[in-house]
């Protein structure tokens, strides 16, 4: 059997923009014959994902060696929905948020699209087709139509749990994709959607200062434990005015010190250089900033309530009480 020549570079460029996915039509446009496409699949070089959609990477998406694996998987699913339903499909809900790079989505999302004339009855291949709304504005993302962040949040939040919903809203505000005032606009857009009733208290929990979903989840745990933080993302300085660092979640203790809860994300804190920098920063905060530091990881959020309850015990042991005035004496 003669070896296959590489696919056309133009097609590989298209695949790179679409998380490795291509359509039959894109293959034809790049000069790749139907026979050659069939051979690529038979030889295990490509994988047929759904009708007319092919994955150019034979490694299963869950097993790929990528630093951005979770984000890649979400974008991959979003693209799978768009490509499966053709050029008129519009990415909505969670799929739109994945393509907008809004952080805080579940590890696995449901591809959602809206089609002109779509009624929701044409869902297939794991892709949900939503009722078409002719009033929905759209934006171009890598050449495809996608619901704007504001509308995608209104579509997605009613179908999510509290911690993912608030994390998405927090990140959308923090990244500047929507303003704090537009959170209420998104809330109003969500009214009337299935499942929205249980979400009404969640919209008031949006703050926008969290730099990662982990920080939002930790804040929610602390709120539930009766210890809402006194401040977020506060800068700490030495007595001589030198900047020592910024705390994620902070409480003012009765003796004037700050109690800091620092959330360590896997990627940002896992390299030797990052660990050394974190240790040096923590030492400076403790010795020069008169600060108590508690560091936590994502693993501590896997058991609901554990991080909040443990932090509450530490704070109460240090004399913090919710009914005490938490004045800023720094």
pLDDT digits (tens, 9 = 90+) for 171-200: 999 999 999 999 999 999 999 999 999 999
Domain boundary among 189, 205, 221: 205
What integer pLDDT is reported at residue 32 of this predicted model?
Answer: 95
In a domain, 103, yes or no: yes
In a domain, 2, yes or no: no
What integer pLDDT is reported at residue 267 of this predicted model?
Answer: 46
Two tokens at 5?
A: 């020549």
Shared domain for 151 and 196, answered yes or no, is yes
Is the distance from CB of 207 to CB of 233 less than 8 angstroms?
A: no
Is the distance from CB of 183 to CB of 203 less than 8 angstroms?
A: yes
Torsion of CA 217, 265, 172, 161, to 10 degrees: -30
Q: Is 77 exposed, middle or buried (0-12, 13-18, 19+ CB in 10 A)?
A: buried
Question: 67 CB contacts (<8 Å, ≥6 apart)?
Answer: 267
Shared domain for 179 and 109, answered yes or no, is yes
Domain boundary among 58, 73, 91: 58
Q: Which of 248, 254, 244, 208 is nearest to 231 (CA)?
A: 248
d(CA 159, CA 109): 11
296: number of Cβ within 10 Å: 20
Which tens digits make up the pLDDT trace of 91-143? 999 999 999 999 999 999 999 999 987 666 678 888 999 888 888 999 999 99
Is the distance from CB of 150 to CB of 182 less than 8 angstroms?
A: yes
Q: Residue 284: is its pLDDT beyond 70?
A: no
What integer pLDDT is reported at residue 229 of this predicted model?
Answer: 96
What integer pLDDT is reported at residue 2 of this predicted model?
Answer: 61
Cα 294–chain centre separation:
25
Q: Average pLDDT, stretch 32-45?
A: 94
Q: Residue 46: is its pLDDT beyond 50?
A: yes
Judged by DSSP in three states, 317 sits in helix
What integer pLDDT is reported at residue 270 of this predicted model?
Answer: 44
The per-residue pLDDT of the chain, averaged, comes to 89
185-224 burial, b at 16+ Cβ within 10 Å, e below that, comes to ebbebbeeeeebeebeebbebbbbbbbbbbbbbbbbbbee
More confidently predicted of 90 and 323:
90
Shared domain for 144 and 260, answered yes or no, is no
Number of domains into which the chain is organized? 3
- Give the percent of the chain with pLDDT over 90: 78
In a domain, 122, yes or no: yes
Q: Which of 255, 252, 313, 243 is nearest to 281 (CA)?
A: 243
What integer pLDDT is reported at residue 330 of this predicted model?
Answer: 42
Domain boundary among 186, 205, 224: 205
Q: Average pLDDT, stretch 244-257?
A: 92
Shared domain for 195 and 237, answered yes or no, is no
149-167 burial, b at 16+ Cβ within 10 Å, e below that, comes to bbbbbbbbbbbbebbbbbb
Q: Residue 265: is its pLDDT beyond 80?
A: no
How big, in percent rounded to 5, are the helix, strand and coil portions of the chain?
40, 15, 40
Confidence of residue 283 (pLDDT cuts 50, 70, 90): low
Shared domain for 117 and 186, answered yes or no, is yes
Two tokens at 163?
A: 């911690």
Query: In this structure, are strands 258-264 and 90-91 parallel, antiparallel, or unpaired?
Result: unpaired
Domain limits for position 134: 63-205
Shared domain for 169 and 218, answered yes or no, is no
Shared domain for 237 and 302, answered yes or no, is yes
Note the pTM of the prediction, 2 decimals: 0.89
Q: Average pLDDT, stretch 31-42?
A: 94
What integer pLDDT is reported at residue 276 of this predicted model?
Answer: 42
Two tokens at 300?
A: 């501590």
- Give the chain's length: 330
- Give the percent of the chain with pLDDT over 70: 88
Beta strands in the chain (DSSP E): 21-23, 47-50, 53-55, 90-91, 112-114, 128-130, 139-141, 144-146, 231-237, 243-252, 258-264, 291-297
In a domain, 313, yes or no: yes
19: number of Cβ within 10 Å: 23
């Amino acid at each position: 059997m003669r070896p296959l020549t590489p696919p056309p570079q133009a097609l590989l460029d298209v695949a790179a923009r679409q998380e490795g996915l291509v359509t039959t039509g894109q293959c034809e446009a790049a000069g790749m014959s139907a026979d050659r496409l069939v051979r690529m699949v038979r030889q295990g070089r490509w994988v047929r994902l759904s009708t007319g959609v092919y994955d150019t990477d034979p490694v299963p998406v869950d097993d790929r060696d990528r630093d951005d694996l979770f984000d890649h998987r979400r974008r991959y699913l979003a693209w799978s929905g768009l490509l499966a339903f053709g050029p008129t499909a519009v990415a909505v809900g969670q799929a739109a948020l994945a393509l907008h790079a809004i952080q805080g989505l579940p590890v696995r999302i449901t591809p959602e699209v809206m089609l002109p004339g779509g009624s929701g009855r044409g869902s297939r291949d794991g892709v949900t087709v939503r009722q078409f709304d002719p009033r929905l504005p759209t934006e171009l993302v890598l050449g495809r139509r996608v619901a704007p962040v504001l509308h995608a949040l209104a579509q997605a939040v009613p179908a999510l749990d509290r911690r993912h919903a608030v994390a998405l809203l927090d990140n959308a505000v923090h990244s500047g994709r929507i303003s704090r005032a537009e959170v209420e606009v998104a809330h109003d857009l969500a009214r009337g959607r299935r499942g929205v009733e249980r979400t009404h208290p969640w919209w008031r929990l949006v703050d926008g200062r969290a730099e990662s979903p982990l920080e939002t989840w930790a804040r929610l745990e602390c709120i539930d434990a009766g210890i809402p933080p006194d401040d977020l993302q506060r800068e700490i300085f030495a007595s001589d005015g030198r900047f020592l660092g910024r705390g994620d979640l902070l409480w003012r203790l009765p003796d004037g010190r700050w109690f800091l809860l620092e959330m360590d994300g896997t990627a940002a804190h896992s390299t030797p250089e990052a660990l050394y920098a974190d240790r040096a920063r923590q030492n400076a905060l403790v010795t020069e900033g008169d600060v108590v530091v508690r560091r936590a990881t994502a693993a501590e959020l896997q058991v609901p309530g554990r991080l909040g309850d443990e932090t509450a015990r530490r704070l109460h042991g240090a004399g913090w009480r919710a009914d005490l005035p938490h004045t800023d004496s720094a």
